[in-house]
């Protein structure tokens, strides 16, 4: 295994070195004929040969159109900065005139992410992909999802694209993650007519977006997200610090015989590259190390689509200089949102659908949630019509061109039901009360019965002696009257020692690295229909759950489907412990090393607060325990004690602190505690509610339900370095329980229906998206005459006889399982995007050990 690993690393290193070498060569020399041929061949495979491809199109945003440029601390730089875009125009523009445009705004380099939307050319759409300010080739400073960035995107949508001769003024947006979030942000700002309809922004497909930058990405339950945030910033800045496309010259097109020789173009490319390198540490400082970035602020509100939800505080959100906090997401903007049960934005995408699209008609919204992490969810792995563009084209043809082809309207919600391994369609999300039952399982201090052959529940020590280990194996009861309330209370110990942190050998570690460690498993399961993941660390939590309180039910007598979020409610009393000199020295050395590696000051107030306050990081997890003892992580939640749902009206003399009586679990607008967190008092009793993120899983008959509690989730969360002992108090007056909803089978065919049979492969679901027909009205779109050229069903013969065909390619070839259109753009995008992180992981792969 060792030699194979080194060969793998060497291979990746060679590819990276080759990329750097050729990138440098491209800056100064003529392209080799073989390289030109390869580029042209790839364009042909992608179906865009015959189009006009402008590689470097300069977009200058007037200061009058972006009111926040003058507000920036980099104002002088921003006023002079140009954005750079890739523009592809189909042959149809020449033969039939201006066409609709599919627009993607990205921070991840337009030459990479543009491959996701290249297939749209086959359907007769213009494609525009623009690097955001301070990323890729674009100049200025990266204003991550702030108003500067949002107004840049607004200008391109409302002014720049409609002014182009090839544009008919109608625009659709598509893209995952960052590109999906920007859609949600700009939708609240774009120009609308008197009826509230966007004038130019006509339809949206936002894949794996968030809705609340604070709770969905930056601080989970008040705990700083270390793993994803750091990796994401370093990766994005690293991509921006590579040579940009502007080295090719402002007038560069494909196919092109020469690299720019104009000294002004080369100088501009050099200046932009050096600026990107010099700005490398800025996001780490601006996003992480500012003094109050562990608390909610206007900065976080600017970056959060939820400020455009119809539900707002009285008078709107106090944010912005143009009353942005009073604006609302347009109800007539048709929007598809996709997400994954193991995505980093599961909470956000579901809330965006529930609250952001609250006023949308059923025909103008859709929700698709698969068993995806972030990286595979970004491309809808297994749903090939995402990768070929056929799904996008069907939505945009209906909502932009007006083709009467309604789909996903009667059942706009499509969920992958884990455990059952099937896709199901629903009419609503959250599921209506008629579809669910509210249930609870209660924590008991009775020891759970061990599972035969399972070392974890048999609690064996090093010598294999049963009953001598340190695992805390307690039970869960459906009936509280059966709970043991008399025995000693469980204790959650947090030693704050590096080797004792929990989370590293769990699904969490894979989830918050965007699912990269699980990518091979996901490809095998979703594309090939073969599950090879059962033995992987991210599919079994037992190696991570040693020595912490776990609560497990008896084997289930029937299948139980838990759907939606889950609340873990309990009382705890905390005692903080002094750090030893050795622990202090070790922790200080680790922090100094981190600062030196990243080139940042680690003595800031926010880091001291986050690491060394007398606080507790509560982590709850729901697991599906198989008959052999394997514990599959289903969903997780996090709560910092200082960010608890405290009752602000309680007596100042209280020593038992219940949660706020007005608090309702899962209310995304219950956020006051994040503006002014309050530390707990040692030794006093507090009630906590951990909100576990939504999921959908069938716990099969014979399986068990398990809930775990721990004090760390490393490396996902920055740990608290103050040791603590946390007594979980369970008695007659202090209830500990897990609350959830289960589904029933009422009204099948009326409010819900199965879409596929049991199976891992997503091909059947893909067929449903591509082929199912409905008779529902298009809900606001105008009918229009359409022909094959407009709707993406051109054949080779029709293209041969009709110059209006999309770029000389067979658009109909994108039909899954039998067509000839290449899914190369999606796969190449995945490969290129993953190259750097895969090399990073291969070199820095963590050593995992089994806790005993």
Residues 279-305 have pLDDT tens digits of: 545 555 566 556 567 889 988 999 999
Backbone phi, psi, residue 160, to 5°: -70, -55
Q: Angle at the Cα of 477 (from 852 to 439), degrees rounded to 5?
A: 120
pLDDT exceeds cutoff 50 at 785? no
Cβ(44)–Cβ(254) below 8 Å:
no
326-340 pLDDT, tens per residue? 999 999 999 999 999
Lowest mean per-residue pLDDT among 3-12, 99-108, 302-311: 3-12
Lowest mean per-residue pLDDT among 107-116, 324-333, 351-360: 107-116
Percent of the chain at pLDDT above 90?
65
pLDDT score at 11: 35
Integer-rounded Cα Rg, in Å, for the chain is 27
pLDDT exceeds cutoff 90 at 172? yes
Query: pLDDT higher for 25 or 464?
Result: 464
Say how far apart CA 154 and CA 564 lie, in whole Å: 34
pLDDT score at 286: 61
Question: Mean pLDDT, the chain, as a whole number?
Answer: 83
pLDDT score at 73: 83
Query: pLDDT higher for 110 or 843?
Result: 110
Q: Nearest to residue 174, comparing CAs of 245, 113, 111? A: 113
Query: pLDDT higher for 391 or 5?
Result: 391
Cβ(414)–Cβ(371) below 8 Å:
no
pLDDT exceeds cutoff 80 at 7? no
* Mean pLDDT score, 372-387: 96
Write out the two tokens for 240: 């921006």
Q: Nearest to residue 730, comparing CAs of 484, 440, 477? A: 484
524-541 pLDDT, tens per residue? 999 999 999 999 999 999
Q: Binning pLDDT at 50, 70 and 90, where does residue 683 land?
A: very high
Q: Angle at the Cα of 646 (from 641 to 650), degrees rounded to 5?
A: 135
Cβ(226)–Cβ(716) below 8 Å:
yes
Q: Binning pLDDT at 50, 70 and 90, where does residue 275 land?
A: low
Pick the CATH number of 2-212+242-279+304-405+783-811+820-844 from 3.40.50.1820, 3.40.50.1370, 3.20.20.70, 3.30.420.40: 3.40.50.1820
Per domain, the residue ranges of the chain are: 2-212+242-279+304-405+783-811+820-844
The alpha-helical segments, DSSP class H, found in 428-575 are: 455-458, 507-511, 519-526
DSSP 89: E
Q: Binning pLDDT at 50, 70 and 90, where does residue 815 land?
A: very low
pLDDT score at 5: 37
Cβ(507)–Cβ(533) below 8 Å:
no
**Can you tell me which residue has the tokens 């099937």?**
422
DSSP 503: S
Looking from the CA of 207 toward its CB, the CA atoms found within 13 Å total 22
13-51 pLDDT, tens per residue? 333 333 333 333 333 333 334 433 443 455 566 555 678
pLDDT score at 817: 28
């Amino acid at each position: 295994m060792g030699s194979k690993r080194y060969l793998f690393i060497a291979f990746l290193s060679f590819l990276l070195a080759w990329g750097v070498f050729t990138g440098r060569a491209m800056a100064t020399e003529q392209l080799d004929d073989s390289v030109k041929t390869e580029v042209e061949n790839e364009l042909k495979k992608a179906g865009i040969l015959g189009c006009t491809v402008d590689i470097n199109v300069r977009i200058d945003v007037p200061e009058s159109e972006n009111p926040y440029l003058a507000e920036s601390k980099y104002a002088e730089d921003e006023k002079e900065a140009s954005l750079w875009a890739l523009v592809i125009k189909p042959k149809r523009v020449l033969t039939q005139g201006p066409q609709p445009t599919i627009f993607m705004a990205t921070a991840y380099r337009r030459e990479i992410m543009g491959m996701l939307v290249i297939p749209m050319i086959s359907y007769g759409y213009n494609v525009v992909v623009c690097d955001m300010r301070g990323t890729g080739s674009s100049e200025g400073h990266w204003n991550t999802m702030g108003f500067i960035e949002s107004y840049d995107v607004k200008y391109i949508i409302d002014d720049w694209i409609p002014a182009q001769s090839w544009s008919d003024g109608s625009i659709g947006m598509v893209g995952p993650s960052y590109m999906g979030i920007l859609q949600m942000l700009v939708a609240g700002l774009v120009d609308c007519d008197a009826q509230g309809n966007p004038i130019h922004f006509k339809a949206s497909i936002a894949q794996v977006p968030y809705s609340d930058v604070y709770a969905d990405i930056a601080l989970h339950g008040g705990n700083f997200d270390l793993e994803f945030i750091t990796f994401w910033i370093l990766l994005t800045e690293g991509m921006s610090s590579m040579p940009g496309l502007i080295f090719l010259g402002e007038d560069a097109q494909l196919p092109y015989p020469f690299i720019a020789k104009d000294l002004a173009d080369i100088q501009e490319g050099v200046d932009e590259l050096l600026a990107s390198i010099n700005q490398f540490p800025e996001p780490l400082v601006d996003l992480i190390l500012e003094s109050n970035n562990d608390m909610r602020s206007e900065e976080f509100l600017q970056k959060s689509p939820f400020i455009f939800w119809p539900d707002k505080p009285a008078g709107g959100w106090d944010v912005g200089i143009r009353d942005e906090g009073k604006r609302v997401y347009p109800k007539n903007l048709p929007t598809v949102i996709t997400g994954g049960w193991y995505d980093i934005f599961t909470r956000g995408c579901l809330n965006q659908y529930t609250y952001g699209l609250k006023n949308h008609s059923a025909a103008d919204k859709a929700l698709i949630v698969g068993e995806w992490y972030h990286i595979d969810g970004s491309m809808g792995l297994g749903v090939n019509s995402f990768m070929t563009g056929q799904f996008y084209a069907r939505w945009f043809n209906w909502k932009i061109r007006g083709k009467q082809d309604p789909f996903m309207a009667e059942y706009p919600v499509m969920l992958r039901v884990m455990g059952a391994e099937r896709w199901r369609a629903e009419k609503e999300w959250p599921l209506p009360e008629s579809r669910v039952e509210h249930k609870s399982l209660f924590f008991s201090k009775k020891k759970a019965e061990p599972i035969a052959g399972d070392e974890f529940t048999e609690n064996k020590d090093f010598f294999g002696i049963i009953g001598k280990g340190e695992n805390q194996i307690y039970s869960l009861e459906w009936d509280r009257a059966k709970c043991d309330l008399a025995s000693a209370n469980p204790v959650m110990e947090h030693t704050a020692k590096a080797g004792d942190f929990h989370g590293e050998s769990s699904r969490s570690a894979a989830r918050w690295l965007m699912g990269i460690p699980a990518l091979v498993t996901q490809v095998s399961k979703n594309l090939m229909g073969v599950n090879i993941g059962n033995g992987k660390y991210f599919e079994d939590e037992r190696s991570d759950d040693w020595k912490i309180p776990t609560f497990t039910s008896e084997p289930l007598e029937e299948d139980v489907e838990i759907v939606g979020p889950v609340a873990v409610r309990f009382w705890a009393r905390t005692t903080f412990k002094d750090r030893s000199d050795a622990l202090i020295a070790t922790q200080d050395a680790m922090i100094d090393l981190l600062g030196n590696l990243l080139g940042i000051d680690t003595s800031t107030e926010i880091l001291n607060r986050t690491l060394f306050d007398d606080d507790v990081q509560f982590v709850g997890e729901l697991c599906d325990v198989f008959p052999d003892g394997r514990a599959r992580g289903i969903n997780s939640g996090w709560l910092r004690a200082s960010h608890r749902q405290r009752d602000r009206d309680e007596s100042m003399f209280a020593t038992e602190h219940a949660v706020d009586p007005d608090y309702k679990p899962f209310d995304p607008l219950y956020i006051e505690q994040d503006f002014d967190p309050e530390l707990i008092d040692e030794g006093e009793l507090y009630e906590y509610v951990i909100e576990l993120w939504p999921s959908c899983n069938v716990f099969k008959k014979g399986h068990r339900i398990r809930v775990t509690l721990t004090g760390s989730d490393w490396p996902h969360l920055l740990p608290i370095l103050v040791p603590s002992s946390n007594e979980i108090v369970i008695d007659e007056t202090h209830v500990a329980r897990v609350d959830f909803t289960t589904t029933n089978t009422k009204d099948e065919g009326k409010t819900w229906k199965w879409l596929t049979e049991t199976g891992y492969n997503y091909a059947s679901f893909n067929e449903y998206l591509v082929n199912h027909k409905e008779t529902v009205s298009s809900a606001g779109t105008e009918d229009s005459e359409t022909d094959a050229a407009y709707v993406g069903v051109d054949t080779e013969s029709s293209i041969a006889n009709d110059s209006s065909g999309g770029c000389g390619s067979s658009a109909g070839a994108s039909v899954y399982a039998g067509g000839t259109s290449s899914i190369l753009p999606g796969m190449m995008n995945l490969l290129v995007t993953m190259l750097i992180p895969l090399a990073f992981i291969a070199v820095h792969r963590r050593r995992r050990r089994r806790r005993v």
